[in-house]
Amino acid sequence: MSEKQNEAFLSVKDIEVIYTSGKKIVHAVNGVSFDMKRGETLGLVGETGAGKTTIARAILRILPDPPAIFKGGRIELDGVNLIDLTEEEMLKIRGDKIAMIFQDPMTALNPLMTVGDQILEVLQLHNKSESKEELIKRAGDMLELVNIPRERYGEYPHQFSGGMKQRVVIAMALACDPQLLLADEPTTALDVTIQAQVLDLIRELREKYQTSMILITHDLGVVAETCDKVAVIYAGEIVEYGDKRSIYKHTTHPYTIGLFDSLPDISVQANRLKPISGMPPDPTDLPEGCAFSPRCPYATEECRAAHPQLREIAPGHFVRCCLRGKEE
């Protein structure tokens, strides 16, 4: 592996994002840090409202401003702190170096434009020197890359199924060969039978182009098949982080254990799903000490007294828990 591949390609350091809601402050992301090497895939896992999408939007600098306020932290892509860039400079980064696949393909597609022209538009934005004919050909190539015949270039989004629409969105996201792909629950809005096909396609293209990817999901099964590293997010912070193998083999944080227990196990017929008891905390009024303590079966007074820090319990495996993992 070259030196370049070994160093952090994306480095997120201590980012904090709040939303203002009337007089209340929603603490959406509370000091999240992680690193990614070139070509790596990181799974951001957690329940709805944990802050996963806000982290991705902060990286792309597309937070709604206001009510969202980026309170602090650094986001370095290839050594450049994105937070220091002007909006004009960010426009060149979006689509070109970083692209995002959203949950619902309809939010990313313009119903009044043909799918081919939408891919062409992305290509034109970032390839000013190439002729229109050349770019039209490349837009057709992108359609074929996602297994849509180029003959369908002139059709509109409503003429495509949900899975095909998401494949068009993937073609748009990959059109400029981005270095980093942010995929926010890319299959949630799709039919179950189509989900696996779309995930397979994302995996295949990511490997082909060696694109780094952050995959946002609530599904640990999807992470197992797709990611190299995992960051489990709870109440806007990372509670467990590390290499996928280490996390799956030595699951340590009680919240991560709860996520695994709530996965359906088709090999054990009698197995009943065990949902994590209780509800995620109110982000405008986070509990003292450990944010998971109201739902944690191991909680003690110590947990409620002080906010646990991330601890490295094995090389590269971090856990935010004052009790678990100490025995290792």
- Say if residues 122 and 168 touch (Cβ distance below 8 Å): no
Q: How far apart are CA 51 and CA 44, in angstroms?
A: 10
Residue 303 in the binding site for ligand SF4 (CB under 6 A): yes
Q: How many CB atoms lie within 10 A of CB 223?
A: 25
Query: How many binding residues for ligand SF4 (CB under 6 A)?
Result: 13
Residue 75 in the binding site for ligand SF4 (CB under 6 A): no
Minimum distance between the CB of residue 290 and ligand SF4, rounded to whole angstroms? 3
- In terms of CB distance, is 166 or 252 closer to ligand SF4? 252
- In terms of CB distance, is 229 or 295 closer to ligand SF4? 295
DSSP letter at 94? B
Q: How far apart are CA 102 and CA 109, in angstroms?
A: 10
What count of residues does the chain have?
A: 328
Minimum distance between the CB of residue 227 and ligand SF4, rounded to whole angstroms? 23
DSSP letter at 284? T
How far is residue 156 from each of residues 133, 144, 232, 309, measured CA to CA in Å? 20, 16, 38, 50
- In terms of CB distance, is 108 or 303 closer to ligand SF4? 303
- In terms of CB distance, is 182 or 322 closer to ligand SF4? 322
Residue 298 in the binding site for ligand SF4 (CB under 6 A): yes
* Positions in 228-267 near ligand SF4 (CB under 6 A): 254
Residue among 93, 143, 308, 317 that touches ligand SF4 (CB under 6 A): 308
Residue 46 in the binding site for ligand SF4 (CB under 6 A): no
Minimum distance between the CB of residue 222 and ligand SF4, rounded to whole angstroms? 24
- Say if residues 311 and 290 touch (Cβ distance below 8 Å): no
Residue among 99, 223, 296, 313 that touches ligand SF4 (CB under 6 A): 296
**Local structure of 261: helix, strand or coil:** helix
Minimum distance between the CB of residue 71 and ligand SF4, rounded to whole angstroms? 24
Stretch that binds ligand SF4, among 124-132, 187-195, 263-271, 319-327 (CB under 6 A): 319-327
Stretch that binds ligand SF4, among 33-41, 188-196, 215-223, 297-305 (CB under 6 A): 297-305
Q: How many CB atoms lie within 10 A of CB 29?
A: 28
Which pairing describes strands 98-101 and 80-81: parallel, antiparallel, or unpaired? unpaired
- Say if residues 14 and 6 touch (Cβ distance below 8 Å): no
Minimum distance between the CB of residue 252 and ligand SF4, rounded to whole angstroms? 9
How far is residue 82 from each of residues 12, 75, 94, 200, measured CA to CA in Å? 10, 6, 11, 31
- In terms of CB distance, is 219 or 237 closer to ligand SF4? 237
* Positions in 276-295 near ligand SF4 (CB under 6 A): 290, 292-293
- In terms of CB distance, is 278 or 316 closer to ligand SF4? 278
* Positions in 99-128 near ligand SF4 (CB under 6 A): none
Going 48 to 53 to 58 to 64, the CA torsion angle's sign is negative
- In terms of CB distance, is 90 or 323 closer to ligand SF4? 323
- Say if residues 283 and 243 touch (Cβ distance below 8 Å): no
- Say if residues 61 and 237 touch (Cβ distance below 8 Å): no
Minimum distance between the CB of residue 263 and ligand SF4, rounded to whole angstroms? 19
Q: How far apart are CA 243 and CA 81, in angstroms?
A: 25
The 3-class SS string of 88-137 reads HHHHHHECCCEEEECCCHHHHCCCCCCHHHHHHHHHHHHCCCCCHHHHHH
Minimum distance between the CB of residue 228 and ligand SF4, rounded to whole angstroms? 25
Minimum distance between the CB of residue 282 and ligand SF4, rounded to whole angstroms? 17
Matching residue, tokens 């306020």: 69
Rule CB under 6 A: which residues touch ligand SF4? 254, 290, 292-293, 296, 298-299, 303, 308, 321-324
